[in-house]
Chain A
Amino acid sequence: MPDEQTLEERLRQQGISRRGFLKFCTAMASLMALPPTMATAIAESLGKVRRPSVIWLSFQECTGCTESLTRSHSPTVENLIFDAISLDYHHTLQAAAGTAAEAARETAMKENFGKYLLIVDGSVSTKDNGIYSTIAGTTNLQMLQDVAKGAAAIVAVGTCAAFGGIPHANPNPTGAVAVTDIIKDKPIINVSGCPPIPVVITGVLAHYLTFGGLPELDQYNRPLAFFGDSIHDRCYRRPFYDQGKFAKSFDDEGARNGWCLYELGCKGPTTHNACATAKWNNGVSFPIQSGHPCLGCSEPNFWDAGSFYSALSTTTAPLGVWSGVAIAAGAAAGLAMGAAARHKRTLAKQAHHVVTVEELKKKEEQS
């Protein structure tokens, strides 16, 4: 449950110095793609945070997103982030089970109504009223609608929660949709990827804790700090693309020389994610560095966008375009409702105290 102590007070009790906290905030600034000089300002702001309640709902998913987060390469940072929040419900990680677990969720919802952060991984089954995926006898659809009511904001973690993901892929037997297809009146941030890069998940949480609001988002509600550039833009093999040097097969001279994988089906040019800079496995590598084209897993409908091994120009369906159930659900909801929902979203955002980067900078200059 949330308590009244600030993060800084709790860290001090654990014997963590301000210098240690500043170091952590330097890592946070790096995670949030903010200038390193912001570390001091982040320390000031984050130090005063009181633990918000977090409810994590897992729907039609493979637990890969939770695996990604908990296997993340900087345990110290993750521990501190988990220390900064009160994770009141996560059915894979929590000790309680069955009725006790659901009671914990209901208590957290009641005590922190309007203030808790809701994290969702997995898509939501809508066909036949969502009976294809249930938890404790409640459909995912119903649970999402119930829990979203009291949420200050929602983070959709992983491509399934953000865009429907693999359950949404053709023929989509369960009528799987994204969180944004169901919830229209709350600020929602999509952290896509199959799974998302762990530091991107923690970076978004850190941003929420530091600034008290959502970061700047792209057209798919993804944080621009991590999804602003395409893989192609940040790829160290980009100079080979510009020189027209391409690998034509997985074992030719071009592949051995580390040339561009565009002709082998790399979706880097149409995929927005931080893999090329944040990388995976302790920053060791990312798919392209290991010699495999990017699959485009952080984009909508990546599973149905043609072969992973056809060059982009030969795919028939353009990537990054909503289709199927997502559009149908959106159309049913209607455009007029969209405008009302946007207004509600703005109100929800206003109710939440938000600090801007400029304010933080000003504070930093004053100190």
Chain B
Amino acid sequence: MNELLNNGELMHAIDSGELRPSAQVLALLRELQVMITTLAERGEPNSIDIRSLPLSPSDYETLIQILGNGEVNATINALGLSKIKETRFSGVWWLQHLNSHDEIIAELIEVTPLPDILKTQAPDLINSAEVLQRYLEKLQPPN
């Protein structure tokens, strides 16, 4: 993702009128506002499929700029990379799923304390115990 504005730079760009989001972007931001409140008050997570929205390339850039970078950055390596970051708004995550050819196959905004994909999945846990067991059967102590 591009060089992103920090909080101060964003405020300046908004105050100076340099950053003027389209009606589509503003509607999306208002929806996010509701989702954050819902998460805070009722603990209900939510998500938005970015690719289902009629955003122009510049709308997309503006959205990325406004949401910006937050405290967490993670990469998953499963069937290609997934790039996951918390945005400058706590609880608002930007998820990019890439395939093995580094092409984006899904792009989402999730409003949640932690995206599910970051958690270890139950079947993987069972598998992990089995694999460790196999290693333990073969590992030999020092001579």
Contact = CB atoms under 8 A, between A and B. Distances in A.
Given A19-B76, A23-B76, A238-B54, A35 B47 contact: yes
Contact of A20 (B23, B47, B79, B122): B79
B127 to A, nearest CB: 7
Interface stretch (A10-18, A120-128, A160-168, A319-327): A10-18
Contacts of B51: 30, 277-278, 283
A76 B108 contact: no
B54 A236 contact: yes
A26 B108 CA distance: 9
Given A19-B117, A22-B116, A27 B105 contact: yes
A50 B52 CA distance: 30
A227 to B, nearest CB: 14
A79 to B, nearest CB: 9
A39 B108 CA distance: 12
Given A27-B97, A33-B52, A74-B103, A16 B47 contact: no
Nearest to B95: A26
B48 A36 contact: yes
Interface in A119-159: none
A277 B53 contact: yes
B45 A75 contact: no
Contact of A76 (B47, B48, B76, B80): B80
B123 interface: yes
Contact of A23 (B82, B104, B123): B82
Contact of B78 (A17, A36, A75, A235): A17
Nearest to A20: B78
B101 A75 contact: yes
Contacts of B99: 74-77
B65 to A, nearest CB: 18
Contacts of A238: 54
Contacts of A245: none
B121 interface: yes
Nearest to B110: A36
A235 B59 CA distance: 13
Contacts of A16: 78-79
Interface string A56-86: 0000000000000000011111000000000
Interface class of chain B by DSSP: mixed
A307 B121 CA distance: 55
Given A26-B108, A40-B116, A283-B104, A277 B79 contact: no
B61 interface: no
Nearest to A28: B106
A26 B97 contact: yes
B3 interface: no
Contacts of B53: 277
A278 B53 CA distance: 9
A103 B100 CA distance: 36
A304 B64 CA distance: 43
Contact of A12 (B22, B24, B54, B127): B127
B71 interface: no
A234 B54 CA distance: 5
Contacts of B103: 73-74, 282-283
B49 interface: yes
Nearest to A18: B121
A113 interface: no
Interface string A312-356: 000000000000000000000000000000000000000000000
A303 interface: no
Interface of B: 22-24, 45-49, 51-56, 59, 76, 78-80, 82, 97, 99-101, 103-106, 108, 110, 116-117, 120-124, 127
27 contacts: A8-B123, A12-B123, A12-B127, A17-B78, A17-B127, A18-B123, A19-B117, A23-B79, A26-B108, A30-B49, A30-B51, A30-B52, A36-B110, A37-B46, A39-B116, A74-B99, A74-B105, A75-B100, A77-B105, A234-B54, A236-B59, A277-B51, A277-B52, A277-B53, A277-B54, A283-B51, A283-B104
Q: Can you list the 6 inter-chain pairs with the closest CB atoms, starting with the nearest?
A: A20-B78, A18-B121, A76-B99, A236-B56, A20-B79, A36-B47
Interface of A: 8, 12, 16-20, 22-24, 26-27, 29-30, 33, 35-37, 39-40, 73-77, 234-236, 238-239, 276-278, 282-283
